[in-house]
Amino acid sequence: MEEKAGKLLSQINLPSDLKQFKEEDLVEVCKELRQYIIDMVSVNGGHFASSLGVVELTVALHYVMNTPYDRLVWDVGHQAYGHKILTGRRDVFHTNRIYKGISGFPKRSESEYDTFGVGHSSTSISAALGMAVASHLKGETNRQHVAIIGDGSMTAGMAFEALNHGGIAKSNLLVILNDNCMSIDPNVGALKDYLTNITTSKTYNKFRDDVSAVLSKISELGPNAHQIVKTIEKTIKGSLLNKSNFFEALNFRYFGPIDGHDINHLTKVLKDLRDIPGPKLLHCVTVKGKGYTLAEKDQTKWHSPGLFNKITGEIKKSSQSIPQGPKYQDVFGNTIVELAEKNEKILGITPAMPSGCSLNIMMKAMPDRAFDVGIAEQHAVTFSAGLAAEGYVPFCNIYSSFMQRAYDQVIHDVALQKLPVIFCLDRAGVAGADGATHHGAYDLAYFRCIPNMIVSAPMNEEELRNLMYTAQLKDHGGPFSIRYPRGNGVMPDWKRPFKEIEIGKGRTVSEGEDVAILSIGTIGNEVSKALTVLNEEGYHPAHYDLRFVKPLDEALLHQVFSKFKNVITVEDGCLQGGAGSAVLEFMIDNNYQAAIKRLGIPDAIIEHGEQAELWAECGYDAKAIEMAVKEMSVAKITKGLVG
Ligand SMILES: Cc1ncc(C[n+]2csc(CCOP(=O)(O)OP(=O)(O)O)c2C)c(N)n1
Ligand SMILES: CC(=O)[C@@H](O)[C@H](O)COP(=O)(O)O
Ligand SMILES: [Mg+2]
């Protein structure tokens, strides 16, 4: 549905249109932009509170900076809806995150205003610094490079690495720290405390006012501005502030904290900062969800609320097919508490996703035994390794795609030392509307090549519980990973007594003839759906749930390849190196001959859409499985590789 934009907003297609307005009109532009975001997200879904919080910042940046020549780099990009709407995409914004529509994140291929593709956090300072250094090398002295990063994203190692480099690179870089005291859940850590202290400290507030007074003069100073600012800095800031400010200590000029909702002050400060060369940091204080009272009050709930009634605030039920079971994340969250009640060594770790992965259930029940470590996947893994080294049983829960950040830590700090860290990979397989940056496509492939690892995936809630139970029973001689997807399961009565699962043992879901289907994980439920139709039409393939891709159930595979000449593998993961590859390797290594059709994510970037739409696009939904069985049944291929 296309909502009508307000009177001023409807005149803005590009930032050049925005620049035609007088400064006093910007308050109204912000009001209309905020309303437009509310109108659109309420009917189409998507990230919400973060974009509302940066409305003024977005308008001010496009008003003052010469975009796209000047580079704006949004961190994560979940807050960039205002940016999209002001940069030529208002008319298509109703397709945001919808299959074949525009992406929910900035994306280089979508617009020249999207200077850098994002989705994962904490990349903006590095990318903007790279651009700034490139401009310096090209001799472009007048180009601005701005990284807009939230306080949550600032907790990641990458952000610190970039500040460390940026402080010595002689580049024209402005970092805008959008500080709303929130990550998805409340922000955590010592940096958060530090930022809060700055924001509330009287000394800093006085300093801020002094700096504002100085900045207001800069534009009148002409070409000598740079030199004059340096002199003033020396005299008014004094060594105490210089040394005690974290960012100043890294050679960034620190400005703020300022009110990130005061559009007129913001435009003025940004104009002044344009004239100050070198690395600078502007600390803006904002309110996540600004302008929508319910979102301001419950910022976590309104981070990405789904569809809602914008008048009453009622959040609508998901449009997905009627859920049969609980969310997998809740099975994890409840099960870890149940296990931890019996095993006092169990601890829970999440890098900034307590409500996303439901570790918040344990954080509430056992606050001393569950840790939100901030957006710090690498640290989460090595921290877990340290705990395991001292005899604890850490369940480290990381979204599959965010785990990509911590690959070396898994190999170097965990697997190599055979430490029994249990990795629970949520959002494995295609993630849905978040799209390419968030699909958990690679974990089966990137984990199964690591020695000492157990790599598993449950087909349903009961299996997830039993794998978690099995993982913590003893030290298995290395890490144990369990992957499961976003969304709901299939079992209304999922809370069954725990049963140990034999490591590397698959199971027969249904016996059959002609064709064997080997699936891994919850996508096996699409196989079950396909089988219902196939059986009615007279096809009776067998279905096996591998459960483990490492170690593989070799006994089961010997049985399968001895009986079947047609084999289909199905996985919600990349084909290159995944479960199907493992089966293929087994077949070759053991001199079996069969036709194998591997279904999974092809060697291509898969964009956004509902999970079912993406399974269909990639060719491994129930319909595609059905077709594959029929093709194999008629083809009667007895050797060689198909698909
Ligand atoms: C590497 C990585 N880990 C986790 C996430 C999930 N994530 C997305 S936004 C977000 C919170 C970001 O907080 P902040 O930067 O302060 O932005 P805000 O939403 O407060 O505006 C998190 C944890 C991610 N996108 N990337
Ligand atoms: C931007 C980001 O990375 C998160 O907000 C992510 O979209 C959360 O995904 P889930 O909704 O699957 O928890
Ligand atoms: Mg924040």
pLDDT at 643: 41
Ligand 1 pocket check for 402: Cβ under 6 Å: yes
Please report which ligand is nearest the Cα atom of 152. Answer: 1
Q: Which domains does the chain have, with CATH numbers?
A: 9-294 (3.40.50.970), 328-483 (3.40.50.970), 507-635 (3.40.50.920)
Which H or E run contains 570? strand 566-574
The protein residue whose alpha carbon is closest to atom 23 in ligand 1 is 352
* CB distance 414 to 454 below 8 Å: no
φ and ψ of 399, to 5 deg: -55, 140
Rounded-to-integer distance, Cα 607 and Cα 98, Å: 10
Rounded-to-integer distance, Cα 10 and Cα 566, Å: 59
pLDDT at 248: 95
Rounded-to-integer distance, Cα 485 and Cα 204, Å: 46
Q: How far apart are the first and last CA of the chain?
A: 40
pLDDT at 302: 98
Which H or E run contains 563? helix 554-563
Ligand 1 pocket check for 153: Cβ under 6 Å: yes
φ/ψ bin of 46: left (φ > 0), alpha (ψ from -120 to 50), beta (otherwise) = left
Query: Which atom of ligand 1 is least distant from the CA of 180?
Result: 20
Ligand 1 pocket check for 53: Cβ under 6 Å: yes
Rounded-to-integer distance, Cα 380 and Cα 398, Å: 9
Rounded-to-integer distance, Cα 144 and Cα 129, Å: 11
CB burial string 213-224: b at 16+ within 10 A, e below: ebbeebeeeeee
Cis omega (within 30 of 0) on the bond before 551? yes
Rounded-to-integer distance, Cα 221 and Cα 229, Å: 10
Cis omega (within 30 of 0) on the bond before 68? yes
Other Cβ atoms less than 10 A from the Cβ of 562: the count is: 8
Q: How far is the CA of 622 from the centre of ligand 2 (A)?
A: 26
Please report which ligand is nearest the Cα atom of 406. Answer: 1
Rounded-to-integer distance, Cα 246 and Cα 236, Å: 18
Rounded-to-integer distance, Cα 256 and Cα 212, Å: 8
Q: Quick one: tokens of 288? A: 């996540």
* CB distance 219 to 271 below 8 Å: yes
3-class SS of residue 463: helix
Rounded-to-integer distance, Cα 33 and Cα 300, Å: 22
Catalytic residue from among 34, 192, 274, 405? 405
Q: How far is the CA of 84 from the centre of ligand 1 (A)?
A: 19
Which ranges of 73-189 would DSSP assign to H, the alpha helix?
81-84, 124-138, 157-166
The protein residue whose alpha carbon is closest to atom 8 in ligand 2 is 356
pLDDT at 319: 55
Q: Quick one: tokens of 168? A: 């010595």
* CB distance 479 to 409 below 8 Å: no
Q: How far is the CA of 241 from the centre of ligand 1 (A)?
A: 30
Strands (E) across 406-535 are located at: 422-426, 454-456, 480-483, 507-510, 515-519
Query: Which atom of ligand 2 is least distant from the CA of 47?
Result: 5
Strands (E) across 415-558 are located at: 422-426, 454-456, 480-483, 507-510, 515-519, 542-545, 548-550
φ and ψ of 550, to 5 deg: -155, 120
Q: How far is the CA of 66 from the centre of ligand 2 (A)?
A: 31
Residue of 289, 255, 62 lying closest to 177 (CA atoms): 255
Angle between the N-to-C axes of helices 157-166 and 124-138, in degrees from 0 to 180, rounded to the nearest 10: 30
Average pLDDT along the chain, 643 residues, taken 10 residues at a time: 82 98 98 98 97 98 98 98 98 98 98 98 98 96 96 98 95 97 97 90 58 56 56 50 79 96 98 95 98 98 97 83 84 98 98 98 98 98 98 98 98 98 98 98 98 98 98 98 97 95 98 97 98 97 98 98 98 98 98 98 98 98 98 64 42
The two beta strands, 507-510 and 542-545, are antiparallel
pLDDT at 638: 43
φ/ψ bin of 68: left (φ > 0), alpha (ψ from -120 to 50), beta (otherwise) = alpha
Q: How far is the CA of 122 from the centre of ligand 2 (A)?
A: 14
Mutate to test the pocket of ligand 1, among 52, 76, 381 (most ligand atoms within 8 A of CB): 76
Please report which ligand is nearest the Cα atom of 356. Answer: 2
* CB distance 296 to 242 below 8 Å: no
Query: Which atom of ligand 1 is least distant from the CA of 75?
Result: 15
Ligand 1 pocket check for 78: Cβ under 6 Å: yes
Residue ranges of the binding site? 78, 119-121, 151-153, 180, 292, 377
Ligand 1 pocket check for 288: Cβ under 6 Å: yes
Rounded-to-integer distance, Cα 292 and Cα 310, Å: 9
Q: Is 405 a catalytic residue?
A: yes
Q: How far is the CA of 286 from the centre of ligand 3 (A)?
A: 9
- Identity at 182, one-letter amino acid code: M
DSSP 8-state class, residue 498: P
Please report which ligand is nearest the Cα atom of 183. Answer: 1
Q: Quick one: tokens of 361? A: 């259930």
Cis omega (within 30 of 0) on the bond before 257? yes
Q: Is 288 a catalytic residue?
A: yes
Catalytic residue from among 32, 377, 526, 610? 377
- Identity at 540, one-letter amino acid code: H
Distances (CA, A) of 331 to 275, 358, 371, 444, 466: 54, 9, 18, 21, 11
